[in-house]
Amino acid sequence: MSNLTSLTLADALRGLREKRFSSEEITQAHLQAIEAARGLNAFVLETPDHALAMARASDVRLARGEGSVLEGAPIGVKDLFCTNGVRSTAGSKILGEFRPPYESTVTANLWRDGAVMLGKLNMDEFAMGSSNETSAFGPVINPWKSRGSNQSLTPGGSSGGSAAAVAADLVLGATATDTGGSIRQPASLTGTVGVKPTYGRCSRWGVVAFASSLDQAGPIAKTVEDAAILLRSMSGHDPKDSTSLPTDVPDFPNFVGRSVKGLRIGVPKEYRSDGMPPEIEALWAKGVEWLKDAGCDIVDVSLPHTKYALPAYYIIAPAEASSNLARYDGMRYGIRGEGANLTDVYEATRAEGFGDEVKRRILIGTYVLSAGYYDAYYLKALKVRRRIADDFTVAFERVDALLTPTAPSAAFALGDKSADPIAMYLNDIFTVTVNLAGLPGMSVPGALDATGLPLGLQVIARPLDEGTMFSVAGALEKAAGFGAKAERWW
């Protein structure tokens, strides 16, 4: 039954409904695959007993003809999502063995629709990273290898565990989060599909906060259709989240496969960065041709404030992080350091519990919010953010969607950039604008580079227009015909 793990989510759901196999069988197959792939370090917690109990309950519902839209499908959960009674760490030591007495809204929606939880997936600590090397549980290893090399590569971050698990067929799909590209960049580096929906489309309640005005949950999946199926269940208004949008959830899978003839696709000139690898430039040009062939009109557009996006992001996100992470003080949950007084306990707890990258961002955030610097840095960054959003508003008066590269390179070796924070931050150069403007964006695998590693294309749409985004992404997926898989070595 090991071939069950190679199914797409859509095919697995059809097989379950047609009773070609049971949820228990496909769940067991994935659990065996996870056990055999521990060398990837994609999971920080496996929950086999919990998964099999959920699968058996799904089989009972399927036998009665009562199965919901995700009934019996085994998936993975990024460890940023709180799961009732199941350890949730955000990839950090500071939360210790924290077991939430509640369920995040996004995962509750998935369980409501019949999904089965295989376990919690590795991630950069508090979602701060682009390579999954800041995790307290060690780095995730990309299932892909460069041709002729045995070097361990990053799966991207912060949702590296989610992307690697999907790419290695350990799960049918996975939850992830995106604050500056943490769904789309890992998807690009692993040959998977990653969707960052409109800000407010998915509830943030029960998701450990990094930067509250930027964080957004979304899926990583094997295909555009699979991502649409997952996002449909993950989405919805939640009164427990004040930023959740009170809007109906479209039937996203219905948009996949629709004709894109007559759609106007914008190509922003500012995304042609200096030193862009020729293969990424070539893939972008190929993506333009694919959409032309599908009947789209290609329009050159300008997003003039793009060059300020990365510095603005790395002021706003750390500022919000420094505020959000103040709650981890050793008093309420997680580890507690020793000290002679309250201040000593706080300092010892945070010194022991936080990793270097998290400490770096807390320091940056505290600095830009401090007296004398607030106006010079934080307030100015917020003004730049507004200009970036205005650029997109103007562009979307002329076009229906935008096409760009997802990441500035293919997967790089673990350790290559970890000593240089600026080089690491540049991985977000094509993705942060979408978060700053609150737009939906997604990455679709388009080709392999010269060394056999996947490269992705990014589709960006108007707020709440994920439907058009899925249609365009579906057209790209069909034209690219990307069917490559990582050769099994683990």
Q: Given pLDDT bands bounded at 50, 70 and 90, which one contains residue 2? A: low
Looking at the DSSP bridge assignments, the partners of residue 74 are 116
Strand partners, 447: 455
pLDDT for residue 420 is more than 90: no
For 340-360, the pLDDT digits (tens) are 999 889 889 999 989 999 999
**Is pLDDT above 90 for 276?**
no
CATH number of 2-261+474-480: 3.90.1300.10
Q: How far apart are CA 490 and CA 180, in angstroms?
A: 30
Q: How many CA atoms lie within 13 A of 224 on its CB side?
A: 35
C-alpha 469/C-alpha 459 separation (Å) is 6
% of the chain at pLDDT higher than 70? 100
Strand pairing class (74-78; 116-121): parallel
How many angstroms separate the CA atoms of 333 and 481, rounded? 48
pLDDT at residue 250 above 80? yes
Q: How confident is the model at residue 274 (pLDDT cuts 50, 70, 90)?
A: confident
User: Dihedral (C-alpha) 224, 446, 451, 39: value to the nearest 10 degrees?
Assistant: -10
Mean pLDDT of 218-233: 98
DSSP letters along 360-376, please? HHHHHHHHHHSTTTIII
The mean per-residue pLDDT over the stretch 143-159 comes to: 96
Provide mean pLDDT across the span 243-255. 97
Q: Round to whole Å and give the CA distance between 175 and 180.
A: 16
Which pLDDT band, with edges at 50, 70 and 90, does 1 fall under?
very low
215 pLDDT exceeds 70? yes
pLDDT value, residue 379: 95
Please tell me what DSSP assigns to residue 129. Answer: -
Cβ-based neighbours of 306, under 8 Å, separated by 6 or more: 268, 270, 271, 388, 391, 433
Q: Which amino acid is at 176?
A: A
Nearest 5°: the CA angle 451, 221, 270 is: 60
Q: Residue 194 and residue 348: Cα distance in Å, rounded?
A: 38
As a whole number of angstroms, the distance between CA 393 and CA 385 comes to 13
268 neighbors 303 (Cβ within 8 angstroms): yes
**What does each C-alpha distance from 430 to 8, 17, 58, 344 come to in angstroms?**
28, 40, 40, 42
The residues carrying an active-site annotation are 78, 158, 182
User: What is the DSSP-derived secondary structure letter of residue 38?
Assistant: G
Among candidate residues 480, 471, 26, the one with its CA nearest the CA of residue 258: 471
Convert the pLDDT of each residue in 59-105 to its tens digit: 999 999 999 999 999 999 999 999 999 999 999 999 999 999 999 99
Q: CA-CA distances (angstroms) from residue 15 to 70, 141, 227, 334? A: 12, 31, 18, 42
Q: Which residues of 142-161 are buried (b: 16+ CB within 10 A; e: fewer)?
A: bbbbbeeeeebbbbbbbbbb
Report the relative pairing of strands 441-448 and 193-196 from DSSP bridges.
antiparallel
DSSP code for 205? T
pLDDT (tens digit per residue) in 154-167: 999 999 999 999 99
What is the pLDDT confidence band of residue 332, given thresholds at 50, 70 and 90?
confident
Q: What is the DSSP code string of 354-416?
A: S-HHHHHHHHHHHHHHSTTTIIIIIIHHHHHHHHHHHHHHHHTTT-SEEEEES-SSS--BTTS
Q: How high is the pLDDT of residue 330?
A: 86
Cβ contacts of 338 within 8 Å, gap of 6 or more: 344, 345, 348
Q: Are the CB atoms for 430 and 271 separated by under 8 Å?
A: yes
173-178 and 441-448: which strand pairing? unpaired
Distance of CA 448 to the CA centre of its chain: 21
Q: What is the pLDDT of residue 422?
A: 78
Question: On the CB side of 244, how many CA atoms lie within 13 Å of its CA?
Answer: 21
* C-alpha closest to that of 71 among 179, 211, 233: 233
Domain spans, the chain? 2-261+474-480
The whole-number average pLDDT for the span 239-253 is 97
Question: How high does pLDDT run on average in the chain?
Answer: 96
Q: Among residues 116, 139, 126, which one has the least CA distance to residue 48?
A: 116
Do the Cβ atoms of 264 and 296 come closer than 8 Å?
yes
Would you say how long the chain is, in residues?
490
**pLDDT, average across residues 442-471:** 98
DSSP for 226-248 reads HHHHHHHHH----TT-TTS---P
pLDDT beyond 80 at 7: yes
CA 435 remoteness from chain centre: 12
Cα 170 from chain centroid (whole Å) = 17
- Structure confidence by residue, pLDDT tens digits, 310-324: 999 999 999 999 999
